[in-house]
Chain A
Amino acid sequence: MNERLSISAARNIFYGGTIFFAVIFIALVINSVNYATDSETSNASELNEKVALGKEVWERNSCINCHTLFGEGAYFAPELGNVWVRRGGREDAEGAADFIKEWMKSQPSGVEGRRQMPQFNLSEEELEGLVEFFKWTSGVNTQNWPPNDEG
């Protein structure tokens, strides 16, 4: 490596540059936090106890280790960030809610050669929370992702 670059200069470039990029990154993160909590630019104001319960149910049963949510997760089962839209929640909210609840109650399908979803034995309240959670996630501004309703 170049003789003119001393080891202490190399070290200073590393620490100085890292601090420089870290500061920019943190500034942008702060801006993004504001974006994601402001009612002008996000649906954060629509968060409520039911959505919170739904998120808790989602986590307790580790849905993310089969499904994806905004494209992040396990790729073994369908995207659920927009499942509310896919099941027609925007046109018929009651129908979509019933569909999701009945789906959860009827698993596993037991069909040979088809991926199986476990039965999670959720209470009516928990099912309601999960529906509200999906309804909320479908309202997040994801920059028009996914490309179509199939997720």
Chain B
Amino acid sequence: MKYQSQKVALYYFVGALVLFLSQVSFGALAGAVYVWPNLLSETIPFSVIRMIHTNSLIVWLLMGFMGASYYLIAEEAETEIYSPLIAKIQFWLFLFGGAAAIVGYLMGIHGGREFLEQPTWIKVAIVVVALMFLFNLTMTVLKGRKTAVSMVLIVGLWGVALLFLFAFYNPVNLVLDKMFWWFVVHLWVEGVWELVMASILAFLMIKLTGVDREVVEKWLYLIVSLALFTGLLGTGHHYYWIGTPGYWQWIGSVFSTLEVAPFFAMVLFTFYMVWKGGRTHPNKAALLWCLGCSVFAFFGAGVWGFLHTLSNVNYYSHGTQITAAHGHLAFYGAYVMVNIAIMTYAMPKLIGREPYRQMLNMWGFWVTSSGVAFMTFTLTFAGTIQAHVQRFLGESYMDVQDQLGFFYILRLGSGLVVVIGAFMIVYSLFVPGREARRVSPSAHSQAAE
């Protein structure tokens, strides 16, 4: 760690990891309700469990992005953060907003647009938090060195904030409601979030592999170009069946198929950089997460996305468990893994120790990844049967669900494996191990960066 003010990232990483555990725990609970439908049905309905599962995820990913941004922007701009105080106030405000939303959900206070269930005052608080964050970040870059990594990151984060403003628009016409709802949801995860992800990966590649910045930054521009050139019109794959014109079936099919390209480019990028760099960084776990991130994002967002994105396939698969399979693998591969990657890299530096508990951390990687992969397979099988029997043969929804019980049991099992893996990861990041103390100070200074 080169700059004292980078320390503010620690707040965000700790907050994010706590919410990560909340997310996977409520996810497992939702999986259990699929198996035992009467579980908690009178106390916490499934709708609220799911809301907490998805909202915890979104808030912790954003919190992780903020921590990552504060950590890397100081090193990129080669200067202290403009105001560590704003960063701290912003963190507590964000954590309070997130916590208040979850407590509210448990008491039955929520809106009803998926993922945007937060009451209006919390949405306003989120905007205030975002503005404080962007102000702080932009001021830091303005007073320091301007690199491609920080520019792409800031463009991405401004995009996140501006697109969120569509969350305030809720017309009576459901078709318009849905069209602009996707401005937040799709243009976040298949648009500007990819910019954030790519710039974090680029930063990590520079640090971990030692490849020339010039080379990394060209790759970064290539990846984010592909992301937005395909992702903007790729929104069309959400406009097939919601009351919008038929031409979206063509545009959506073509451009969302091309959305595989940026993810494939990320795989090439990370592996090529590691091969080209050819040096061994002491933090092997962080490197594992980087490579895992690009591969899992390629399969989750790319391959599993393509699986059901063509309009004539989507006609049958839309809104089945196939969508759930894709959602889980894509979010894990792209955004969970990039967050854990930067945390695995930065946490030892933030706490002032050498990379520690790497073995446990890497076991956490394999356990969690296996769990999510297996969950994806079970949901894909379930969804394929559902699409065929319900959509093609025309059996009723509940009758079909009754036939999928076996897959939901397997899904619950894989979900519990994910919970175990998540606890291993969080433990390995928080609790310094014996190996940390064994490292001599001289090795420390040589191996740093």
Chain A positions within 8 Å of B42 at CB level: 108, 116
- Rounded to whole Å, the gap between the CB of B309 and the closest CB of chain A is 14
CB–CB B110/A11 < 8 A? no
CB–CB B241/A62 < 8 A? no
CB–CB A44/B246 < 8 A? no
Chain A positions within 8 Å of B428 at CB level: none
How distant is the Cα of A13 from the Cα of B115 in the complex, in angstroms? 33
- Rounded to whole Å, the gap between the CB of A35 and the closest CB of chain B is 5
CB–CB B323/A25 < 8 A? no
Decide yes or no whether B445 CB sits under 8 A from chain A. Answer: no
Say whether, besides A17-B229, A18-B228, A51 and B219 are in contact (CB < 8 Å).
no
Say whether, besides A18-B225, A31-B245, A69-B174, A58 and B114 are in contact (CB < 8 Å).
no
Chain A positions within 8 Å of B240 at CB level: 143, 145
CB–CB A47/B318 < 8 A? no
- Rounded to whole Å, the gap between the CB of A86 and the closest CB of chain B is 9
Chain A 1-24 near chain B by CB (<8 Å), digits 1 or 0 = 100010100110110011001101
CB–CB A118/B243 < 8 A? no
Decide yes or no whether B178 CB sits under 8 A from chain A. Answer: yes
CB–CB B218/A7 < 8 A? yes
Chain B positions within 8 Å of A62 at CB level: 47-48, 51, 110-112, 117
List the A residue with the shortest CB-CB distance to B111: A59
- Rounded to whole Å, the gap between the CB of B338 and the closest CB of chain A is 20
Residues of chain B from 227 to 278 with CB closer than 8 A to chain A in the complex: 228-229, 232-233, 235-236, 238-249, 251
Q: Which of B12-20, B122-130, B386-394, B412-420 sits within the interface? A: B386-394
Chain B positions within 8 Å of A136 at CB level: 174
Chain A positions within 8 Å of B390 at CB level: 150-151
| Partner of B243 from A5, A36, A55, A113 at Cβ < 8 Å | A36
CB–CB B113/A59 < 8 A? yes
Chain B 164-204 near chain A by CB (<8 Å), digits 1 or 0 = 00000010111110110000000000000000000000000
CB–CB B114/A75 < 8 A? no
List the A residue with the shortest CB-CB distance to B235: A25
Chain B positions within 8 Å of A149 at CB level: 394
| Partner of A70 from B178, B245, B324 at Cβ < 8 Å | B178
Say whether, besides A75-B320, A108-B42, A118-B45, A32 and B244 are in contact (CB < 8 Å).
yes
Chain A positions within 8 Å of B176 at CB level: 33, 36-37
How distant is the Cα of A55 from the Cα of B113 in the complex, in angstroms? 10
- Rounded to whole Å, the gap between the CB of A105 and the closest CB of chain B is 17
| Partner of B113 from A13, A44, A64, A71 at Cβ < 8 Å | A64
Decide yes or no whether B403 CB sits under 8 A from chain A. Answer: no
How distant is the Cα of A140 from the Cα of B249 in the complex, in angstroms? 17
- Rounded to whole Å, the gap between the CB of A7 and the closest CB of chain B is 6
List the A residue with the shortest CB-CB distance to B392: A147
How distant is the Cα of A141 from the Cα of B173 in the complex, in angstroms? 13
Chain A positions within 8 Å of B407 at CB level: none
CB–CB B319/A75 < 8 A? yes
| Partner of B232 from A25, A35, A77 at Cβ < 8 Å | A25
Decide yes or no whether B34 CB sits under 8 A from chain A. Answer: yes
How distant is the Cα of A108 from the Cα of B233 in the complex, in angstroms? 43
CB–CB B229/A58 < 8 A? no
Decide yes or no whether A78 CB sits under 8 A from chain B. Answer: yes
CB–CB B175/A36 < 8 A? yes
Decide yes or no whether A122 CB sits under 8 A from chain B. Answer: no
Chain B 396-420 near chain A by CB (<8 Å), digits 1 or 0 = 1110010000000000000000000
Say whether, besides A21-B233, A59-B113, A64-B113, A71 and B319 are in contact (CB < 8 Å).
yes
| Partner of A51 from B112, B148, B172, B391 at Cβ < 8 Å | B172
Decide yes or no whether B316 CB sits under 8 A from chain A. Answer: yes
- Rounded to whole Å, the gap between the CB of A79 and the closest CB of chain B is 7
Chain A positions within 8 Å of B38 at CB level: 112-114, 116
Chain A positions within 8 Å of B45 at CB level: 66, 116, 118
Decide yes or no whether B395 CB sits under 8 A from chain A. Answer: yes
How distant is the Cα of A35 from the Cα of B395 in the complex, in angstroms? 33
Decide yes or no whether B306 CB sits under 8 A from chain A. Answer: no
CB–CB A147/B233 < 8 A? no
Decide yes or no whether B217 CB sits under 8 A from chain A. Answer: yes
Chain B residues with CB under 8 Å of chain A are 33-34, 37-38, 41-42, 45-48, 50-51, 110-114, 117, 148, 151, 170, 172-176, 178-179, 214-215, 217-219, 221-222, 224-225, 228-229, 232-233, 235-236, 238-249, 251, 315-316, 318-321, 323-324, 390-392, 394-398, 401
Q: Other CB < 8 Å A-B pairs besides A1-B222, A7-B217, A59-B112, 19 of them?
A: A7-B148, A10-B225, A14-B225, A25-B235, A28-B251, A36-B175, A37-B173, A65-B117, A66-B46, A66-B50, A72-B242, A73-B114, A75-B319, A76-B34, A115-B46, A142-B241, A147-B315, A147-B392, A147-B394
15 residue pairs A–B, Cβ–Cβ below 8 Å: A1-B222, A10-B221, A13-B225, A17-B225, A33-B179, A42-B175, A65-B112, A66-B45, A70-B174, A114-B37, A115-B398, A118-B47, A142-B243, A146-B391, A150-B390
Name the 8 nearest CB pairs between A and B, nearest first. Answer: A59-B112, A71-B319, A65-B47, A145-B241, A116-B41, A10-B221, A78-B397, A36-B175
Chain A residues with CB under 8 Å of chain B are 1, 5, 7, 10-11, 13-14, 17-18, 21-22, 24-25, 28-29, 31-33, 35-37, 41-42, 44, 47, 51-52, 55, 58-66, 68-79, 108, 112-116, 118, 136-137, 140-143, 145-151
